[in-house]
Chain A
Amino acid sequence: MTYFDVKDLTIKFGGLTAVDNVSFDINEGEVFTIIGPNGAGKTTLFNLISRLYTPNAGHIVFRDEDVTQLSAQQIAGRGIARTFQNIELFESASTLQNLLVGRHRHSTTKTWQDILRVRKVRDEEIAHRRAAEEVMDVLRLQRYRDTPIGSLPYGVRKVIEVARALCVGPSLLLLDEPSSGLNVEETDAMAEWILEINRRLKVTVLMVEHDMSLVSRVSDRVLALNYGRKMALGTSEEVQSHPDVVAAYLGA
């Protein structure tokens, strides 16, 4: 079975080819990291996978299904969740509400049932709440439960975004620069959580990351991109010592 496979993926913005004929595959249970200088096309690749962008060419296969033509909301329904480099939380809502939005794909009630708040709605609400509380337990977010996002510090928001993505109940989790903007201790905690999410919750992780010590610590395999093209693929050490990668980072 193919778990996750990207084949010849290409997207152009005007004259710029942001992702250029990129292919790679991810095994179930892996932590797979994408590195590369700023503007290499990493976030664009994430946006292609989560179907916020439509590729000009190429295919994305998830669990033997070609998902290239699905809509963004269908991607979440298939069990692919993500975080954003610039944090896209629902700022006027509380932490708990953000997490409950993450549970959306597990709701089966119709709008009219919501309006009448029939028994099924109430039962599902309790199930959603329980799931959200479990995620909050794992990531130690209980104390922020009812605090509006707008009044929380940046580091906490980064964790809440991971928590919200976990509430989707993903099989594949995309993390776009989980450590950016975090201090040393927060980065350390983030590394632990990524490992815990991967090992204990059995979630496959696809991550974009700049912090090389974090990359080495958690990644099974690393892909290096430059100018939208694949530069190197292999273990963390292999990629970091690859001559092209060294040149790209020194040149950048």
Chain B
Amino acid sequence: MSAHIRTDYAQSDQLFASRASVIAYAALGVLLVAAPFLIESYYLSQLVFVLIYAIVGVAMNILSGQAGQVSIGHAAFLAIGAYSAAIAQKYGVPLPVYLVLAGAFTGLIGYLVGLPALRLHGIYLAIATLAFAFIVEEVLARWESVTHGNEGLMLAAPNVFGMKLGTNGFYYLCLGVTVVVMLAAINIIRSPTGRAFLAIRDSETAARSMGIDTARYKTSAFAISAAITGVAGVLYAHKLSFISPEMFSLAVSIDFVMIIIIGGVLSLRGAVFGAIFMIMVDPMLIVVKDKLPQITDAAMHGIGLGEPIIASIQAGVLRVVNAPGLKSLIFGLIIILFIIYEPMGLDGRWQRVKAYCKQFPLARQRSARPQRMFLKSERR
């Protein structure tokens, strides 16, 4: 067992709880900086997607995880950031400038979307954000003079004050933005603003009685979350070099919700875990699609089944792995399993594994199981 002994309130201000975590994060930092020299370009490209999704995950964490407000329309904020970048670039605005401007503009839109949130809760708020996302998608498709409608917009290579960013340069840009966004989010969470968010999430009545202006903080949660997603949108647009309205559909918004459900709604680490998971699912499914028929074939030959049976089972396996809705089905299943068995997400699992290792010989089985701490107490 170990304990952190603090002797001064200012020590609670430190970013890292212990020496060990400083070392762990430093090692992670070195690995991330060295990544372009360590891994193939395909993986580096996937890593860029992970970073962009992690930024969106942080945005979702602030809005839903911290402030408890639902949104299934965040793809619209990504779109607004992405289109702002594409349009600004056309007018020769340098990247650092439109990165900030796109964030600010998307934040403003987020503030406006947050206004109805003052009157709507839960499922109604979810529907309002969904409607907003449909409107944005529709506007992007119809406002052809600016957005080129369904033909989409091309982006040139990212250009930082005259210097063109290559693949590695762009990776470092994404890494830098991720770090800045993370630090900002950490600061929010440990400040009066972050505590106002958690108060609104857990009990709006109590929050108001503690003097918290719930309207103000709900709209700022929307604005901050939207601004961060807008910044991610700029990076996303550059990563793909081409954007069109159908790239910002409902499915993308749902991906974003899944980032935090799978990663864990309460922590920023969860946003990163969720992002990694969401980006890894596709390549993993492709592997499964390729390999599963071979494996079942070999297995059935191994146990000596007759050819006609093998052929018919193989046909079934092929039909399953090639079924068009397979990915959605698997996602749906994963969400349900997470909500039932791991409501704290991957991060909750990680925390318990860590605790288990720390107390290893003393750990009991029971403490490794999820606690249903989130259910409101029964004595009410």
- Interface flag for A45 (CB, 8 Å): no
Give complex CA distance A88, B380 in Å.
Answer: 10
- Interface flag for B19 (CB, 8 Å): no
Q: Are A73 and B377 closer than 8 Å at their CB atoms? A: no
Q: Tally of A-B residue pairs with Cβ under 8 A?
A: 133
Which of B162-170, B211-219, B230-238, B274-282 makes up part of the contact surface?
A: B211-219
- Interface flag for B199 (CB, 8 Å): yes
Q: Mark A54-66, 1 if CB is under 8 A from B, else 0.
A: 0000000000000
Q: Are A130 and B9 closer than 8 Å at their CB atoms? A: yes
Q: Are A114 and B198 closer than 8 Å at their CB atoms? A: no
Report how many residues on chain A are interfacial, defined by Cβ distance under 8 Å: 51
Q: Are A101 and B196 closer than 8 Å at their CB atoms? A: yes
Which residues in B have their C-beta under 8 angstroms from that of A157? Answer: 377
- Interface flag for B206 (CB, 8 Å): yes
Secondary structure of the A contact surface, majority rule: helix
- Interface flag for A100 (CB, 8 Å): yes
Q: Are B207 and A101 closer than 8 Å at their CB atoms? A: yes
Q: How far is the CB of B314 from chain A (nearest CB, A)?
A: 49
Q: Are B380 and A86 closer than 8 Å at their CB atoms? A: yes
Q: How far is the CB of B94 from chain A (nearest CB, A)?
A: 23
Q: How far is the CB of A23 from chain B (nearest CB, A)?
A: 24
Q: Are A89 and B187 closer than 8 Å at their CB atoms? A: no
Q: Are B206 and A125 closer than 8 Å at their CB atoms? A: no
- Interface flag for B161 (CB, 8 Å): no
- Interface flag for A144 (CB, 8 Å): no
Q: Are A88 and B206 closer than 8 Å at their CB atoms? A: yes
Secondary structure of the B contact surface, majority rule: helix
Give complex CA distance A181, B380 in Å.
Answer: 10
Which of A91-99, A214-222, A225-233 makes up part of the contact surface?
A: A91-99
Q: Are B210 and A164 closer than 8 Å at their CB atoms? A: yes
Which residues in B have their C-beta under 8 angstroms from that of A97? Answer: 195, 198
Which residues in B have their C-beta under 8 angstroms from that of A104? Answer: 192, 195-196, 199, 210-212
Selected from B203, B224, B374, B379, the residue in CB contact (under 8 A) with A88 is B203
Q: State which residues 63-84 of A face B: CB under 8 Å.
A: 71-77, 81-82, 84
Q: State which residues 128-175 of A face B: CB under 8 Å.
A: 128-130, 133, 148, 150-151, 154, 157, 164, 168
Give complex CA distance A33, B321 in Å.
Answer: 70
- Interface flag for B363 (CB, 8 Å): no
Q: State which residues 180-228 of B face A: CB under 8 Å.
A: 184, 187-188, 190-196, 198-199, 201-203, 205-214, 220, 224
Q: Are A168 and B377 closer than 8 Å at their CB atoms? A: no
Which residues in B have their C-beta under 8 angstroms from that of A168? Answer: 210-211
Q: Are B203 and A90 closer than 8 Å at their CB atoms? A: yes
- Interface flag for A111 (CB, 8 Å): yes
- Chain A residues packing against B (C-beta within 8 Å): 50, 52, 71-77, 81-82, 84, 86-93, 97, 100-105, 107, 109, 111, 114-117, 121-122, 124-126, 128-130, 133, 148, 150-151, 154, 157, 164, 168, 181
Sample 11 A-B pairs with CB under 8 A, ordered by A number: A72-B208, A73-B214, A76-B210, A81-B209, A86-B380, A90-B202, A91-B203, A104-B210, A111-B188, A115-B188, A125-B190
5 smallest CB-CB distances across A and B, nearest first, come from A76-B211, A114-B191, A90-B202, A88-B206, A105-B211
